[in-house]
Amino acid sequence: MNARRFMTERLVAWIGPAAIRRPFTHVAQEVGISERTVRDIFHDHVTALEAHRKVETPQWLGLDEIHLIRPRGVVTNVQECTLVDLLVNRNKETVTAYLMRLPHREHVRLVTMDMWRPYKDAVEASLPDATIVIDKFHV
């Protein structure tokens, strides 16, 4: 029994992943609890997942952006065609801080990006040995 939520541990363990795939309101209706409780369990579930997340620094890193309400930085592994991370914004300070925290950042050999100056400045400040390659779709 989960004393904090007055439900079984099994139900708490089911709600976290279910709330990733389905709207909070649907999960709440299905199990008979409030949307707020589902949201809290989801938050705890995501926090636990993030604590165990291991970022592998690619040798060929891609920097781009996507607009999800506002512009956000996107970090990719170009060789593997995978998403590495989604940043809260694309500001130079945010990108620089993220790149500085990359484990084994000295392994990055190439960085593909558009010609946006803050990306260039961030890469030069945090990955001085990496070669910058301008993305052909932005030329």
Say whether 9 sits in a helix, a strand or coil. helix
pTM: 0.68
* Model confidence pLDDT, tens digit, residues 92-129: 999 999 999 999 999 999 999 988 899 999 999 999 99
| 57-77: average pLDDT | 93
Structure tokens at 6: 């007055």
To the question of domain 60-138 being in CATH 3.40.50.11260, the answer is: no
Extended beta strands in the chain, E state: 60-68, 70-77, 82-86, 110-113, 131-134
pLDDT at position 60, please? 96
Q: For the chain, what are the domain ranges?
A: 9-51, 60-138
Decide if pLDDT at 2 tops 90: no
The identity of residue 46, as a single letter, is V
Measure the CA–CA gap between 22 and 26, rounded to whole angstroms.
7
Decide if pLDDT at 138 tops 60: no
